[in-house]
Structure 1
Amino acid sequence: MQAKAKQWLLVLPALALLAAVLLVPLGRSLKLSVAGGSLEHYKSLFTDGVTLTVLARTAATAAVVTLIAVLLGYPYAYLMTRVEPRLRGLLMVIVLVPFWTSVMARNFAWVIILQRGGPVNSFFRLFGWDLVLYQSVAGVAIAMSQVLLPFMVLPLFSALSGIDRRLLLAARGLGSHPVRAFWKVYWPLSRGGVVAGLILVFTLSLGFYVTPALVGAPQQSLVAQLLGQRTTQLLDFEGAGALGMLVLVVTLALVAWANRLGGTISAIGLVAAAPAKGARS
């Protein structure tokens, strides 16, 4: 018992730091959102005509970013499991480049790429289409997808690396078509990593601020920009607290759903992809 008590003492500094930088501000936000014991600030989120629009735009953008991430990340993670170790290391470095790049430099690079006269606009002009993605929801989704792609690739690579490819060979040997073998054998075993990556990218997309603020337009703001506006310009801390609590509840619900389906998100933000229930049964 004394040994276990000493082990718990090791986590006390981390718990104290967590309480100081996370739980205390969250508790203050909750207290402000229900000032005077009233839920008016929560009711106004659904009646002011602006918040629901911003929330819907944020959810739609997060869904598009998540879809792009899984469509690009799954083949990339699969390729990483098939190549030799040296090339796999190079592919891993490419995935991690966004983590090593300054946030401001990365977003200003996207501003240059997407603005009028930039590479994207110049390319589409060759076909007679004057397309400008700067200050648009589409441009924001593209920039966010590049930033969040590693959060899809890493859990997928973890899940796909643990799949025994001899199972696919066995399915092929029994006469199964390659597509059917993938769908019936490989996909169920990788579903835990897919779910973990989907929830991780989606929840991170809900709280993105810098990329939408620099690449997007103020008229098409997302929920993080609305929170910033309410706190820094309108000084509506009570309404901002209510909106923050709502986003937090949605995020926690999504994480709980992910854990239920098989993706376990660790405390440091990485993902240990467990097999999905359907694959274990």
Structure 2
Amino acid sequence: MTSTGSPTMPRSGTTPPAASAQAPARRRRLGWGALAVPALAVSLAFFIYPVAEALRRSFTDFVPPESGGFDNYAWFFGDAVNITILVRTVVTGVGVTAVCLVVAYPFAYLMTVVGRRWRAVLLGVVLVQFWSSAVAQTFAWVILLQDNGPIDSLAGWLGLGHPGLLGTVTGAGIGMAQAMVPFMILPLYSTMQGIDRRLVLAAQALGARPAIAFLRVYVPMSMPGVLSGSLMVFVLSLGFYITPSLLGSPQQMLLSQYLVTEVNNLLAWGRGGAMAAVMIFVTGVFLLFGWRFVRPTAATAAGVSDNHSEE
């Protein structure tokens, strides 16, 4: 007699059902992963390797009498001029970010309240500057900001004197802000279009004034877009080179200009690598800050859910 309680053993050479079910899923994952290979290869060749090489040279290439180790970093942090340039770069990035936020926030909000046709027009206004050369745009600012140029003459006509913006950090900041505004508008619009404006109307129905309802309800829900756009603009501003070079001056250079001077003119690759490492560290600190705080709020998620359900 055969025992009914004995387990049935798989025949030799057969694949268990669980393993056979997992095989197609594993192949699908490998297929999807293969799509990332070209992007990873480009990043490895044109970003990861150059950055790693710059960091390596910061510890291996030295200018006499420097001898090794952390001498390049000691040179950077031990020179007051270097610290001044670093602070100037960070302050300029913060200023450019603030200007872009002030300009972009109402524009992005307008894109969410107008009709589809006008929204397309406003989006075209945002994207049009991507269709022209950054160098051409910067040279246009050289014409506008130069002495006796349109802006200088207008300031004199208004009784504001002649500011002399060309060759200053302020002039470079103006050109950088103009280039960075789209990078602030697009994240703001992406967040704002998912906010349910009925929440603001509900706050007004409960007795809040329109301005208070907007500040207390709408603005907090738009903060993920504010922080995302601010981080993007600030990080990109730290590495600007063409605009500060054409609109600024060697006497008020930013860190990117200083890095190019050390590497191209003085062939101080180690010092350039140390400055690149400092810039990467500053960028990483702000990116970690953004990763910590840039999270959609529950109200924003609810608004997005309601809007999609209505569609």
User: Quick check: TM above 0.5?
Assistant: yes
Matched residue of 1:34: which SS?
helix
Separation of aligned partners in 1, 2:168 and 2:242: 14
Deviations 1:170-213 (A, max 9, x none): 11001112222112210111000000011111111100000000
Moved over 3 A (4+): 276-281
Aligned to 1:252: 284
Secondary structure of the structure 2 residue equivalent to 1:163: coil
Is the contact made by 1:167 and 1:185 (CA closer than 8 Å) also made in structure 2? Answer: yes
> Which residue number in structure 1 is paired with residue 256 of structure 2?
224
The Cα shift of 1:127 comes to 3.1
Aligned to 2:146: 115
Inter-partner Cα distance in structure 2 for 1:94 and 1:227: 34
Provide the rounded CA distance (Å) in 1 between the counterparts of 2:105 and 2:223.
11
Counterparts in 2 of 1:186 and 1:227: CA distance versus 1, 3 Å: same
Among 46, 52, 62, which residue is 1:21 paired with? Answer: 46
User: How far off its partner does 1:131 sit?
Assistant: 2.0
Does the alignment pair 1:161 with 2:193? Answer: yes
RMSD: 1.7
Q: 1:211 aligns with which of 243, 252, 264?
A: 243
Number of residue-to-residue matches in the alignment: 270
Distance 2:155 2:277 in 1: 42
Deviations 1:11-63 (A, max 9, x none): 12221221111111111111111118601111211112221111111111111
Task: Establish whether residue 143 from structure 1 lines up as the match of residue 175 from structure 2.
Answer: yes
User: Following TM superposition, by how much is the alpha carbon of 1:280 offset from its aligned partner in structure 2, in angstroms?
Assistant: 7.4
Structure 1 pair 157/280, CA: closer, same or farther in 2 (3 Å)?
A: closer
| 1:38-57 map, 5 Å | 38-57=69-88
In the alignment, what sits opposite 1:105? 136
Aligned residue number for residue 37 of structure 2: 12
Which amino acid in 2 is paired with 1:162? Answer: G
In the alignment, is residue 237 of structure 1 matched against residue 269 of structure 2? yes
Q: State the AA in 2 paired with 1:34.
A: F
Contact 1:137 1:220 in 2 (8 A): yes
Task: Provide the rounded CA distance (Å) in 2 between the counterparts of 1:173 and 1:278.
Answer: 18
Task: State the distance in 2 between where 1:258 and 1:279 align.
Answer: 18
**CA displacement at 1:90 relative to structure 2:** 1.0
Whole-Å Cα distance in 2 between the matches of residues 221 and 69 of structure 1? Answer: 21
The one-letter code of the counterpart of 1:25 is P
Deviation, 1:277, is 7.4
Matched residue, 2:296:
275
Contact conserved, 2:176 with 2:243, CA < 8 A, in 1? Answer: yes
Which secondary structure state, in structure 1, belongs to the residue aligned with residue 80 of structure 2?
A: coil
**Structure exhibiting the larger radius of gyration computed from Cα positions:** 2
Task: Output the CA distance in 1 between the equivalents of 2:299 and 2:55.
Answer: 38
Residues 76-103 of structure 1: per-residue CA shift (max 9 Å, x gap): 1011111111111111111112211111
| Stretch moving more, 46-55 or 166-175 | 46-55
Aligned to 1:94: 125
Is residue 139–residue 216 contact of structure 1 (8 Å, CA) maintained in 2?
yes
Distance 2:290 2:298 in 1: 12
1:201-230 CA-partner distances (Å, limit 9, x unpaired): 111110000000001111100011001001
* Identity percentage of aligned residues: 41
Whole-angstrom distance in 2 between the partners of 1:141 and 1:16: 35
Report if aligned partners of 2:194, 2:300 keep a CA contact under 8 Å in 1.
Answer: no
Deviation at 1:256, TM superposition (A): 2.1
Alignment of 1:130 onto 2:162:
yes
Query: Gaps (5+ residues) in structure 2?
Result: 1-25, 61-66, 303-311
Q: 1:54 corresponds to which letter in structure 2?
A: I
* Structure 1 residues without counterparts, runs of 5 or longer: 263-273
**Contact 1:152 1:198 survives alignment (8 Å):** yes
What SS does structure 2 have at the residue aligned with 1:50? helix
Query: What is the CA–CA distance in structure 2 between the aligned matches of 1:98 and 1:276, rounded to whole Å?
Result: 32
- Maintained 8 Å contact 1:188/1:279: no
